[in-house]
Chain A
């Protein structure tokens, strides 16, 4: 069965960048936010790779990346992501940072997906289980509610399609375990953890093919206002800095004794 796979993914600052909150008119922002190099949110990236992998296994399937982000930054990031796997882009031009409201972001994405008028009987909505910005784990469930989808899986590491259209899903739960569930049929929402696939290598031909449809989509990106019901009393860097004691030129046995003592305390 071919699937209509919608992947939701926003942007996050490159993890190696230093982040500093600054006051904004309604909510905090990051210092030099528009200058910070960005990446497609890591867990959303995994969702995209898993979507492309699934689409490849089921001919006729399509992958649409729905992204709510500032248009200029999204264009920069897509120059790289477009080389990874084939997909179509649905761009929403709007705010996307850690201080935006996950509830409202979910509603905006849900509305955008609903407007695509995709048939529900083969619809799978993918995304990251949390973002690297808000880290809330809320958006995918809000999207599910907006679309009327009653089967949602969180922290997914694997989907296996079975004969007859049912599929099993492995979700991360407490104690380092996977919970395995079987869903009779789409539609379903899968919020991915890391999955099992490595990051695909860059493929320039895929990039060129993708960019032909991505650029017009970026130009048409609808300005999307995302409300916020949150009032911030504070946003600051953690104060804790440790005084690191550096132990050099010490025999391994002595270090081991010190660590063993520490472990016993």
Chain B
């Protein structure tokens, strides 16, 4: 197996994200020479034998991050570069790969090395087709999807070579914001994903809409179950089109073809039809249940483990009594 560079960044306080340790495990599983390069805050005290640190490299910015990644790739002399697919790496590494004359593939969910040939698995068409690829070009940079490997253990490196990298940027970090009004959204650490579909805002049995009650029920469940909150595109779009909808839902909650693809153990869909563009975002949700009034909805066609044909208002009201107590 060719020499592998595991490229990671630190987060606030100098720690490395869990996804970085998963990537390290992926590299070790391939065998061969593995070197770790780290950039960011306190990178010199981290798990890498190569490091780029300094004030300029602490915040996530394309110009400085790409320069740090490029320097680490060059210094390592590695033919294969593995990195966790965090937002920071996703932004910077494709540019760094281009600078290094290499190629990059992202959202990698599996790796194998057979008879010296490295192959990588990933999804195409938003989780609708899975494929396995290989490349001759080097350096080959692969961004590993978080959650695809068990995390490895890593200790601080015995000896660290700190690289002197010069990079300037006309971008400065201002800070971080949580989405407006959204106390809950897609949180990778939650065990359960709760998805609210457009049906919550439609006319109910009495011919009236009950949007405020829907909001209370949904947030009641999310708080009691400590779950992530997701939504379908149709419900999010209704808000931006000025219709009366659940005010705490934004595009950040959107799951599916044009939204996120979370990796929760369990998922509960409510008032959602389970159409393919939405369900592609459920590809990595292992156990799926749905509550819907339509027995012929998409969930019934092999997309959920259990479909409860029932009124979600009634079910969630009862459910909140049980899990909230």
Q: What residues make up the interface of A, taking CB atoms closer than 8 Å to B?
A: 13, 15-16, 19, 21, 28, 42-43, 98-99, 101-103, 106, 132-138, 141-142, 144-146, 150-155, 157, 168, 170-185, 193-199, 229-238, 241-250, 252-253, 255-260, 262-263
Contact = CB atoms under 8 A, between A and B. Distances in A.
B113 interface: no
Nearest to B130: A238
B132 interface: yes
Contacts of B178: 176-178
B170 A177 contact: no
B162 interface: no
B181 interface: no
Contacts of A19: 125, 128-129
B291 A168 contact: no
A231 B137 CA distance: 11
Nearest to B305: A242
Given A174-B86, A244-B301, A244-B306, A99 B257 contact: no
Contacts of A182: 171-172, 174
Given A141-B94, A196-B251, A15 B276 contact: yes
A176 B186 contact: yes
Nearest to A234: B132
A233 B133 contact: yes
Contacts of A174: 86-87, 188
Contacts of B277: 15-16
B105 interface: yes
Given A144-B95, A151-B63, A253-B318, A194 B266 contact: no
A198 B124 contact: no
Interface stretch (B24-32, B43-51, B149-157, B308-316): B308-316
A237 B129 contact: yes
Interface stretch (B33-41, B96-104, B201-209): B96-104
Interface string B293-325: 001000111111111111100111111011100
B129 A98 contact: yes
Contacts of A141: 62, 66, 91-92, 94-95, 98
A98 B225 CA distance: 38
Q: Main SS of the interface on chain A? A: mixed
A252 B314 contact: yes
B182 interface: yes
A179 B129 contact: no
Contacts of B92: 141
30 contacts: A16-B275, A19-B125, A28-B131, A98-B125, A102-B105, A106-B94, A136-B107, A137-B106, A141-B91, A141-B98, A144-B62, A150-B170, A152-B62, A154-B87, A172-B87, A176-B178, A176-B186, A178-B179, A179-B60, A180-B174, A182-B172, A194-B259, A233-B131, A235-B130, A237-B128, A244-B302, A246-B309, A252-B310, A256-B319, A258-B308
A250 B106 CA distance: 45
B274 to A, nearest CB: 10
Nearest to A177: B176
Contact of B62 (A43, A153, A157, A229): A153
A234 B106 CA distance: 17
Given A15-B276, A136-B107, A244 B307 contact: yes
Contacts of A185: 170
A227 to B, nearest CB: 10
A181 B125 contact: no
Given A181-B174, A232-B133, A246 B318 contact: no
Contact of B322 (A150, A238, A260): A260
A259 B252 contact: no
Contact of A245 (B98, B241, B305, B319): B305
Nearest to B99: A145
Given A182-B171, A237-B128, A135 B251 contact: no
B104 A259 contact: no
Contacts of A230: 105, 133-135
B237 to A, nearest CB: 7
B307 A138 contact: no
B176 A180 contact: yes
B119 interface: yes
Contacts of A179: 60, 87, 173, 175-176
Nearest to A236: B130
Contacts of A244: 299-307
Given A101-B103, A137-B107, A259-B291, 6 more contacts: A136-B107, A141-B95, A145-B98, A184-B171, A232-B133, A256-B315
B223 interface: no
A135 B124 contact: yes
Interface in B134-178: 134-137, 169-178
